[in-house]
A and B are shown apart, each in its own frame.
Chain A
Amino acid sequence: MTPHTSRKSPVREMSLVPPLFLQTIEDTALSTWLRESESPFAFYFVLLFHTFGLALLVGANVIVDLRLLGIARAIPLAPMQRLFRIMWVGFAINALSGVLLVIAYPTKSLTNPDFYVKLTIIGLAIWVMYKLRTNVFADATLSESEMTARGAKLAKWSLLLWFAAITAGRLLAYTYKYLTYPS
Chain B
Amino acid sequence: MNFVHLHLLLNHFPILGTVIGVGLLLVSLLGKNQDLRRASLIIFPAMALMAIVTFFSGTGAQGAIQKAPGVSDALITRHQGAAMLALLFMEITGAISLIALWKSRAAPRPPRWDWSMSAVLLFSLLTAALMARVGTTGGDIRHPEIRTGHEEVAESSTFGKIVHRFEPSPDKFAELMTASKWWWAFMMDMHFVGLVLLIGSVGILDLRMLGFAKQFPIEPLHRLVPFAMFGFGLNLITGILAFTGMSAFYTYDWAFWMKMLAILLLGVNVAAFYLTDAFESVATLGPGQDAPPLAKFIAATSLILWFAVITLGRYIQPYSDTITVHK
Query: A residues near B, CB below 8 A?
Result: 40, 44, 47-48, 51-52, 54-56, 58-63, 66, 71-72, 74-76, 78-79, 82-83, 162-163, 166-167, 170-171, 173-174
Contacts and interface: CB of A to CB of B under 8 A. Distances in A.
> Would you list the 7 A-B pairs with minimal beta carbon distance, nearest first?
A59-B200, A74-B220, A79-B215, A75-B220, A72-B223, A59-B199, A55-B199
Contacts of A61: 200
B314 A170 contact: no
A170 to B, nearest CB: 4
Contact of B188 (A54, A58, A170): A170
- Chain A CB count within 10 A is highest, among B192, B216, B217, B317, for B192
Contacts of A52: 307, 310
Contacts of A54: 192, 196
A74 B196 CA distance: 22
A55 B200 CA distance: 7
A79 B224 CA distance: 16
Contacts of B182: 174
Contact of A173 (B185, B200, B217): B185
A63 B192 contact: no
Interface string B192-206: 110111011101100
Interface residues of B, number: 34
B311 interface: yes
Contact of A82 (B192, B196, B213, B220): B213
A59 B220 CA distance: 17
Interface in B164-189: 181-182, 184-185, 188-189
B216 A48 contact: no
B193 A163 contact: yes
A126 to B, nearest CB: 16
Contact of A75 (B193, B197, B216, B314): B216
B221 interface: yes
Contacts of A59: 196-197, 199-200, 203
Contact of B217 (A62, A76, A162): A76
Nearest to B312: A48
Interface majority SS (helix, strand, loop, mixed), chain A: helix
Nearest to B221: A75
A87 to B, nearest CB: 11
Interface majority SS (helix, strand, loop, mixed), chain B: helix
A72 B224 contact: yes
B185 A171 contact: yes
Nearest to B184: A174
22 contacts: A47-B314, A48-B311, A48-B314, A51-B314, A55-B195, A59-B196, A59-B197, A59-B199, A61-B200, A62-B200, A66-B224, A66-B227, A72-B220, A72-B224, A74-B220, A75-B221, A79-B215, A79-B287, A83-B213, A174-B182, A174-B184, A174-B185
Interface of B: 181-182, 184-185, 188-189, 192-193, 195-197, 199-201, 203-204, 213, 215-217, 219-221, 223-224, 227, 287, 307, 310-311, 314-315, 317-318
B192 A166 contact: yes
A63 B200 contact: yes
Given A44-B315, A75-B221, A174-B181, A83 B204 contact: yes
Contacts of B189: 166-167, 170-171
Contacts of B193: 163, 166
B315 A170 contact: no
- Chain A CB count within 10 A is highest, among B181, B197, B200, for B200
Contact of B314 (A44, A56, A78, A167): A44
A79 B185 CA distance: 37
A60 B185 contact: no
B186 to A, nearest CB: 9
Contacts of B219: 74
A63 B201 contact: yes
A114 B315 CA distance: 24
Contacts of B227: 66, 71
A75 B227 CA distance: 14
B315 A48 contact: yes
A166 B200 CA distance: 15
Nearest to B318: A44
Contact of B196 (A55, A170, A171): A55
B216 A40 contact: no
A44 B197 contact: no
- Chain B CB count within 10 A is highest, among A56, A66, A72, for A72
A61 to B, nearest CB: 8
